[in-house]
Structure 1
Amino acid sequence: MIDPRALRLPAPPTSRNGIPRWCGALLAVALLASGSLASAQDAVRQRTAAIASANALATQAGFETLARGGNAVDAAIAVGTTLSVVQPEASGMGGGFLALIHDAATGKDTFIDAREMAPQAVDSKDYLKPDGTPNRDTSLNGPLAAGIPGFPAGVAYMSGKYGKLPLSVALQPAIRIAEQGFHPSGALVRSIGHKAEVLRRWPASSAKFMPDGKLPTADGLFRDPNQARTLQALAAKGADGFYKGAVARELVRAVHAAGGTWTLQDLASYRARERTPITLDYAGYKVVTAPPPSSGGVAVAEMLNILAPVDLSRLDQAHRIHWLVEAMRRAFRDHNEYLGDPDFVKIPMDMLLSPYYADGLRQSILPEQATKSAWLPSVSVNPPGMHTTHYSIVDADGNMVSMTATVNTTLGSSFVAGGTGILLNNEMDDFALVPGKPNAFGLLGGSANAPVGGKRMLSSMTPSFVIGKDRLAVIGSPGGSTIITQVFGAILAFIDGKSASEITAQKRIHHQFMPDRIDIEKGSDIPADVLAKLKAMGYELNQDDSWGNMNVVVWDKKTGTKTAASDPRNPSGLGKVETIH
């Protein structure tokens, strides 16, 4: 095995905020080998790769890996593990991910399920107060909130089967940045400040995020040597470096000491799963999206099937929103009713994805009146923060990765597992821990998503491809339950001909069955008369702060140009195109 230290590259020149000096622009740019800006015509002729992620250091890690001969999968591993270091509030080694991969040579699309799973000793009573009401503290904070991480197993699996480089090479940027340090983003600084009191409950959490007992600042240098050592173990031994041996023993020791129930067998038995993506046709485009345990792909497919015969372009804005919302409402009702881990639950996929089923749902939509969620058949529940990250990658050969990773809410469980440096997720809250009661994102659930040892909790992550004759897009976003409607809106925007930057910037609306309201992003350009018309149709409207952090790559095959765009709501992000030789 290659010693990862022997492969370390010198750190790229950085500005005061830690972002490479030549990566400052948020707009996608095409670079010649000399580093000078290419003209638009030059960009067409060059072999380019495009990466859009939530952090400039992570995007650069992806390009560094491509430059060493890697493909889109290797770049995705570099981006994701670097985000574990520089954006721990949103994702990391202690969480999980869902990824779509397109292999250009074979034309094959596949889906990697590295979702977290419940430990065998999971007990719903641990998430109840003495009066029987949900205990939000144990479901969100500390080791009882954490599922067995899937991220390390997932990247090891992807690397071995679909990458070109050794895993140790793809991990080098993350290891280097963790050892040498970086200037934390404003989002990370704010997240640590917000969760400071919870972090102080556990010495390892406080030591990682508040060294010397002080909150970090954007001007300071943030180092993560413990996580660097865990990354080195993964680089040297693959998945066994995390799920077995010294790292696994320390994870279990720390979890047990703080009241958790993990065992060495829980870790050793974890496996990433390869599944068949959901595919459908809509308006002449092929949509490839995430299957269960993602709920997002099923919901997006159901919404698109409902809208298939509806000419949205001929509708006024109020009626367009009406149709979108009613499709969302019905898809989220089915989300709550049917979806869970396919290894544990029989999901009626043929029904949910059938255009005939969508026909019946469409017939229940009143043309001039909102459907109240209470009017639809109720969800059967037996006696129902938003921090994730997404990166989109297209390499010079046309391989594509759409990958969404998470630790669930901001800084996950806030629990760092001893000397591993690994911040654990709080994904147990994504189970229906208390039937009929909403989780942190307001989603309900029933027996299909009840916690069972070894079961994977339902996810809203919806990495997707949209493929047309001349254009394609790689799309995804964080945002809890809003991920599904963000991706749905992005797919429609791409099919309408919008650019990558227009897709990421467009204002968002959301409906998830319950609560029965339309959430409208503040600053939306929806005119007052349209809002009044929606109210007259019976909708409750709620103005909400901005949500999501979308990253999109669009490839125009007719011109040969690739465009990468990061969400303008996130000043740390970078969508970038670079020439690859």
Structure 2
Amino acid sequence: MKLALRWHVLLLGFLLGTSGACAADQPTPSTQAAQLAERPGHAGIASANKLATEAGFEVLAKGGNAFDAAIAVASTLSVVEPESSGIGGGFMATMYIAGNKRTVFIDARETAPAAVNPKDYLNPDGTPNRDTALKGPLSAGIPGEPAGLVWLAKNYGKLPLSASLAPAIRTARDGFKPDDRLLGAIKEEQKNLERWPASAEKFLPNGNAPAAGETWRDPGQAHTLELLANYGDAGFYSGETAQKLVDAVHAAGGNWTLKDLASYRVKERTPITIDYHGYKIITAPPPSSGGVAIAEILNILSGFDLSKLDQAHRVHLTIEAMRRAFRDHNDYLGDPDFVKMPLNMLLSPYYADGLRQSILPDKATPSSMLAPSGGQDPGMHTTHFSIIDADGNMVAITSTVNYLLGSTFVAKGTGVLLNDEMDDFALVPNKPNVYGLLGSTANAPEPGKRMLSSMSPSIVIGPDRTAVIGSPGGSTIITQVLEGILAFIDGGDAHQVVAKKRFHHQFMPDVVMVEPGAFDAETTNALTQMGYSFKERGPWGFMNVVIWDRRTNKLDAASDPRRDDGLGKVQ
């Protein structure tokens, strides 16, 4: 992607510990440098739950850094927001370490058990079996979140793991009042939860979902978290917890082994870093598809000056870039430890040039002209939180158990709700998963392989402002984060970024999903004349953003107003 030399030098200088610069026709680096803060001096956290945000600040007050706070937030979300994430699932993290000016990506994604058999996910007629792919122990990959939390404490935190897990353990043991989202999820999945005694025991005390305002305790998860706090990896992946997990999975027809658990490893990977009109975007590499797709879209859009276009043509070009990126997502991407992917091609500005040339200025390109496919609505689960601490350490973490309440299967004696991430594999090539995403053999299940993800935790560094951004939302994660990045580049503050109305196209189905109020009548009419079809659906996503304005040295944190805009906090 083309970038003016002066911005390249200034942004590289910021990442290496020198200063950045404010926008000006002919900036003087030494003059501009004095105006930009090198550390915030205070912290900002935006998460999906007030108790989780407060847990992060509690750990910061103990002397922890952003990475300790991330452990507190993630583990507390496991307790208070199990419909979206938890220690029975996994996470991906994009991080900036202020001390050595380094960026790193932590891959704590789940893996397939060694005994995985694609036939377990097929009906007798060869069609996908949605039940085994989404419910019960066969749908669950080996969890990565516990190992990821241990990894953060050992390699990046300042506090012992036990200190960072303490808020979650206390909350699980002493209880909390579930919010409406959790209560609604339990009621929605009640029939599935009733299929397994341990699930019913945890989520349906006395046979029903907890009542609004009732204190709900999770002693099983409290004990499991205590073992993790005391023994690290061994407290989950071997010993008492591991045996209980395997026994419970086997008793319900699953195929985990103690070796599967003992063999799990966190992976550190190099983030994808791209430049877009003077901004450096640091985002998720495979096995996330999100960073590649966002990079490809921005590379295509870099050839246009969107600020000079009316809304209809700006949206048109963005949809066409989305369409092409999701087409490549379906064809090429998978676990980099198993699959050779043409990343140099997909991330190349020259490849983007070619894709850009295929976009007509005033006409939609039918997806059927690019390649045949099929799909359905994307889903709206997972969770994300963003943190910037007083020293300028930054963490963007997206965590998930996949679909609503994951597999709905709780392993007896552990309090651990297992994920249903096996559905994120292409269990049946070129057939859509629950989010409508297609996949090729690159994302086929294999023993120990990590399933492809849309999670896109990102950090955006501009000439004078920095954003930590991400969202849940299945396949819409990619387009939400993309649109949030563009809103930030356009000058939006944290509240404006998270509140911006959304639209989404994922190649197939060939329809633009739009949030009510996203386009005015004139724009909708113009896009319809270009050949677009629209499907309006209710608000989606739960974006959490922290922005650091390095000119004023102020932090701004916001959570999505579609759910609760009171969860982002600065102090």
1:498 aligns with 2:481: no
Question: Hey, what's the Cα distance between the residues in 2 that align with 1:469 and 1:531?
Answer: 34
Q: Counterpart in 2 of 1:53?
A: 47
1:369 aligns with 2:351: no
Over the matched positions of the two proteins, sequence identity in percent amounts to 65
Q: Counterpart in 1 of 2:388?
A: 394
Q: How does 1:131-146 map to 2 (within 5 A)?
A: 131-146=125-140
Q: Counterpart in 2 of 1:65?
A: 59
Does the CA-based 8 Å contact 2:85-2:400 persist in structure 1?
A: yes
Does the CA-based 8 Å contact 2:39-2:390 persist in structure 1?
A: no
Count of matched residue positions in the alignment of Structure 1 and Structure 2: 533
Does the CA-based 8 Å contact 1:54-1:551 persist in structure 2?
A: yes
The one of 155, 163, 167 aligned to 2:157 = 163
Does the CA-based 8 Å contact 2:70-2:395 persist in structure 1?
A: yes
User: How far apart are residue 47 of structure 1 and its match?
Assistant: 2.5
Q: Counterpart in 1 of 2:539?
A: 546
Coordinate RMSD, CA, aligned: 1.6
The one of 199, 202, 205 aligned to 1:205 = 199
The one of 245, 252, 271 aligned to 1:277 = 271
Q: Specify the SS of the correspondent of 2:253.
A: coil
Q: Counterpart in 2 of 1:461?
A: 455
Question: Hey, what's the Cα distance between the residues in 2 that align with 1:218 and 1:571?
Answer: 17
Write out per-residue CA displacement over residues 430-477 of structure 1, whole angstroms, 9 at most, x where no aligned residue: 000011210000000000000001000000000000001210000000
Q: Counterpart in 1 of 2:523?
A: 530
Write out per-residue CA displacement over residues 110-143 of structure 1, whole angstroms, 9 at most, x where no aligned residue: 0000000100111111111111111101100000
The one of 405, 410, 418 aligned to 2:399 = 405
Q: How does 1:161-560 map to 2 (within 5 A)?
A: 161-378=155-372, 385-524=379-518, 526-560=519-553
User: How far apart are residue 46 of structure 1 and its match?
Assistant: 8.1
Q: How does 1:67-106 map to 2 (within 5 A)?
A: 67-106=61-100
2:504 partner amino acid:
H
Write out per-residue CA displacement over residues 264-311 of structure 1, whole angstroms, 9 at most, x where no aligned residue: 000000001000000010010110000000000000000000011200
Q: Which runs of 5+ in 2 are unaligned?
A: 1-37
User: How far apart are residue 333 of structure 1 and its match?
Assistant: 0.3
1:337 partner amino acid:
D
Write out per-residue CA displacement over residues 175-210 of structure 1, whole angstroms, 9 at most, x where no aligned residue: 000000000010000000000000000000000001
2:302 partner amino acid:
A
Question: Hey, what's the Cα distance between the residues in 1 that align with 2:91 and 2:342?
Answer: 24
Question: Hey, what's the Cα distance between the residues in 2 that align with 1:573 and 1:351?
Answer: 42
Question: Hey, what's the Cα distance between the residues in 2 that align with 1:334 and 1:51?
Answer: 34
Question: Hey, what's the Cα distance between the residues in 2 that align with 1:400 and 1:318?
Answer: 35
Does the CA-based 8 Å contact 2:132-2:139 persist in structure 1?
A: yes
Question: Hey, what's the Cα distance between the residues in 2 that align with 1:386 and 1:438?
Answer: 16
Q: Counterpart in 1 of 2:35?
A: none
Q: Which runs of 5+ in 1 are unaligned?
A: 1-43
1:574 aligns with 2:571: no
Write out per-residue CA displacement over residues 31-78 of structure 1, whole angstroms, 9 at most, x where no aligned residue: xxxxxxxxxxxxx99821000000000000000000000000000000
Does the CA-based 8 Å contact 1:388-1:478 persist in structure 2?
A: yes
Q: Counterpart in 2 of 1:34?
A: none
Q: Specify the SS of the correspondent of 1:60.
A: helix
Question: Hey, what's the Cα distance between the residues in 2 that align with 1:103 and 1:130?
Answer: 51
Question: Hey, what's the Cα distance between the residues in 1 that align with 2:223 and 2:93?
Answer: 25
User: How far apart are residue 212 of structure 1 and its match?
Assistant: 1.5
User: How far apart are residue 218 of structure 1 and its match?
Assistant: 2.0
Question: Hey, what's the Cα distance between the residues in 2 that align with 1:296 and 1:571?
Answer: 25
Question: Hey, what's the Cα distance between the residues in 1 that align with 2:40 and 2:434?
Answer: 46
Write out per-residue CA displacement over residues 360-392 of structure 1, whole angstroms, 9 at most, x where no aligned residue: 000000001000111114579xxx942100000
Q: Counterpart in 2 of 1:9?
A: none
Question: Hey, what's the Cα distance between the residues in 1 that align with 2:171 and 2:522?
Answer: 51
Question: Hey, what's the Cα distance between the residues in 1 that align with 2:234 and 2:541?
Answer: 34
User: How far apart are residue 573 of structure 1 and its match?
Assistant: 5.5
Q: Specify the SS of the correspondent of 1:171.
A: helix
Does the CA-based 8 Å contact 1:280-1:287 persist in structure 2?
A: yes
Question: Hey, what's the Cα distance between the residues in 2 that align with 1:362 and 1:568?
Answer: 34
Does the CA-based 8 Å contact 2:39-2:392 persist in structure 1?
A: no
Q: Specify the SS of the correspondent of 2:260.
A: helix
Q: Counterpart in 2 of 1:14?
A: none
* TM-score of the two chains, using structure 1 as the length reference: 0.90
Question: Hey, what's the Cα distance between the residues in 1 that align with 2:463 and 2:307?
Answer: 20
Question: Hey, what's the Cα distance between the residues in 2 that align with 1:215 and 1:444?
Answer: 35
Q: Specify the SS of the correspondent of 2:467.
A: strand
Q: Counterpart in 2 of 1:3?
A: none
- Which aligned runs of 4 or more in structure 1 are off by greater than 2 angstroms? 44-47, 377-380
Q: Counterpart in 2 of 1:4?
A: none
Q: Specify the SS of the correspondent of 2:568.
A: strand
Does the CA-based 8 Å contact 1:340-1:458 persist in structure 2?
A: yes
User: How far apart are residue 532 of structure 1 and its match?
Assistant: 1.1
